[in-house]
Amino acid sequence: MSERESLGKQLLQRNNERALLFEKIRIQQSILSKGDFHYNQRLEDIHLLKLEGSDPGKYQLIQKIQALQKRLIAKTQELEERELLLQGASHGAVVRAGTPLTEAADLNTAVPCSTPVLGTSF
């Protein structure tokens, strides 16, 4: 029986060591991923600085493209929020006034409403 207990203790110890190693691997992968992201940003910055020095018109166009891409992302997120709101309204509920749409969608904070929503009839 003591050999079995000894093996059980060793197994638990090895499992704990294994869990620690997996956690270290996860942390290192996260750090590596963040480092890659920042490295790629710096490469892009260097590229843009080279373009700025060589052709100001080209640099301005790239800046405009980036600004438009950011606006597109923001508008896409806004559209998704509105769709969530409309889905909630079509199910007979309206989001409470003053509640951000993403919060309402994530937390299901919709409340029943007695007034009709535009485009619906009760």
DSSP string, 5-33: HHHHHHHHHHHHHHHHHHHHHHHHHHHHH
Tens digits of residue pLDDT in 22-41: 999 999 999 999 999 999 99
Predicted confidence band at 119 (pLDDT cuts at 50, 70, 90)? very low
Residue ranges covered by each domain of the chain: 1-54, 59-113
Alpha-carbon separation of residue 110 from 27, 74, 90, 91 (angstroms): 38, 23, 12, 10
Length of the chain: 122
The stretch 57-63 carries a mean pLDDT of 80
Please say if the pLDDT value at position 106 is more than 90.
Answer: no
**Cα–Cα distance for residue pair 106/29, rounded to 1 Å:** 29
Measured CA angle at 65 (ends 61, 66), to 5 deg: 120
